[in-house]
A and B are shown apart, each in its own frame.
Chain A
Amino acid sequence: MSHDTTRRDLLKAAAIGAVTIAPGLTLIAPPAQARAPGQPASPTNRWGLLIDTSKCDQGCTACVDACKTEMGLPALDRPATDAQYIRKVDVRDPKTGNQHSLPVMCQHCAKPPCVDVCPTGASMKRADGIVLVDRHICIGCRYCMMACPYKARSFAHEDQTGQSAHNPRGKGCVEGCTLCAHRIDAGGQPACVEACSKEGGAAMLFGDLNDPKSEISQRISKEATSRIRADLGVDPAIRYQGI
């Protein structure tokens, strides 16, 4: 009986998470909470992004710059080999001249080819859908770089110094966007999303695709969105609007 009451109270409290201020105007509580120490990532979450390309300016690199700073990636001005977790891709429809600029990072595929081909188990998908490289066991064979349809991974060619404390990285290993797992685990959002909302066009929305009440789920259930190369069937967690 008391168990029932407790549950009902909890459900009520959960419902209050989304507060209706006035008819048609709803304030949705921030999606992410820091996970309790000792708790593993949970398959009840699937973290993803919604990127509105109509708000993304061609000249803006706020997300790319923020990523480099956050992850301690040096800019050696060698485009062929510099580590790159996120890049701006400009696309143009030759028939109509219609142009878009969009940030592309690891798409955190639900069926990641990089994981399928990895001979060591270093490429892995966390329970909450974040795809990572376990550089403790990566042998640097770069099969995953070949397999990734989104050109999302980089290889560290040189000895590294001055790494950021939350992004260990070194020579001979493959690396890529972690969706800022260290921030997400602490209840935050990725550095690129934060920078885009502060200095960019506020084109990126981060949230839990598995939570039907999250803002991202609400929007993708109502608005038309697409995924890059959806035909490949790898089920990316990054969705785009306007392309």
Chain B
Amino acid sequence: MGVRAVLLALVLGLFSVMGAWAGDAGPSFPKATSKALGGSCVDDPATMRRHHFDFLKHQRDDTLRQGIRGAKYSLKECVSCHAQVKDGHAVPVNAPGQFCASCHEYAAVSIDCFSCHATTPQHQQQVEATR
């Protein structure tokens, strides 16, 4: 084994250790509240983590421009399941420490979904409107 190969092995080993460490220090966020979908997300968590933005970006065009409703992926449903309710009031999903914000902050991603889209679920909006 050449010196280079040894160095490479060392560096890779170091990375795997760092990887494990990074995994432990990942963002913490509240668990989904709604059991509307049988308590599980529409796809497995790893796929959702990696691809939710792609799914939503395609779905938004289908819904708005073609009028396709009831799609598998929907921002409304994300909000519906992941918004916390505190003292009878829905907490916006983009508030600090909440489901959407915690990961986006950790990953230094700046999104503008919520400059337009509702950050609390429709059912909760209706409940609060009648109070």
In contact, A136 and B79 (Cβ under 8 angstroms)? no
A39 at the interface (CB under 8 A from B): yes
**Number of B interface residues, CB 8 Å?**
22
CA gap between A165 and B64 in the complex, in Å = 14
Name the contact of B70 in the complex, choosing from A37, A72, A132, A173 (C-beta under 8 A): A37
A82 at the interface (CB under 8 A from B): no
Chain A positions within 8 Å of B31 at CB level = none
B122 at the interface (CB under 8 A from A): yes
Mark B104-131 against chain A: 1 for CB-CB distance below 8 A, else 0: 0000000010011110111001000000
A134 at the interface (CB under 8 A from B): yes
Mark B62-77 against chain A: 1 for CB-CB distance below 8 A, else 0: 1011111111000010
A163 at the interface (CB under 8 A from B): yes
Chain B positions within 8 Å of A132 at CB level = 64
CA gap between A183 and B79 in the complex, in Å = 20
In contact, A165 and B68 (Cβ under 8 angstroms)? no
Chain B positions within 8 Å of A72 at CB level = 118
Q: Who on chain A is nearest to B76 by CB? A: A165
> Which of the segments A110-118, A123-131, A195-203, A230-238 contacts the partner chain?
A123-131
CA gap between A169 and B112 in the complex, in Å = 12
Known: A124-B65, A136-B64. A164 touches B118 (CB 8 A): yes
Q: Range of interface residues on chain A?
A: 20 to 34
CA gap between A158 and B112 in the complex, in Å = 15
B52 at the interface (CB under 8 A from A): no
Known: A136-B60, A136-B61, A165-B76. A127 touches B118 (CB 8 A): no
In contact, B122 and A35 (Cβ under 8 angstroms)? no
Q: Who on chain B is nearest to A128 by CB? A: B67
Chain A positions within 8 Å of B64 at CB level = 132, 134, 136
In contact, A126 and B66 (Cβ under 8 angstroms)? yes
In contact, A39 and B121 (Cβ under 8 angstroms)? no
A211 at the interface (CB under 8 A from B): no
Chain A positions within 8 Å of B70 at CB level = 36-38
Closest chain A CB from B75 CB (angstroms): 9
Known: A134-B64, A165-B122, A165-B125. A185 touches B69 (CB 8 A): yes
Closest chain B CB from A117 CB (angstroms): 18
Name the contact of B115 in the complex, choosing from A35, A40, A134, A171 (C-beta under 8 A): A171
Closest chain A CB from B42 CB (angstroms): 13
Q: Who on chain A is nearest to B70 by CB? A: A37
CA gap between A136 and B60 in the complex, in Å = 9
Closest chain A CB from B128 CB (angstroms): 10
Chain A residues in the interface with B (C-beta under 8 A): 35-41, 72, 124, 126-128, 130, 132, 134-136, 159-160, 162-166, 168-171, 173, 181, 185-186
Other than A38-B69, A38-B71, A181-B67, give 10 A-B pairs with Cβ distance below 8 A: A38-B70, A40-B66, A41-B66, A126-B67, A136-B61, A136-B64, A164-B118, A164-B125, A165-B79, A166-B76
A to B CB contacts below 8 Å, 27 in the list: A36-B70, A37-B71, A38-B71, A40-B68, A126-B65, A126-B66, A126-B67, A127-B66, A127-B67, A128-B67, A132-B64, A134-B61, A134-B64, A134-B65, A135-B116, A159-B115, A163-B116, A164-B125, A165-B118, A165-B121, A165-B122, A168-B116, A168-B118, A170-B112, A181-B67, A185-B67, A185-B69
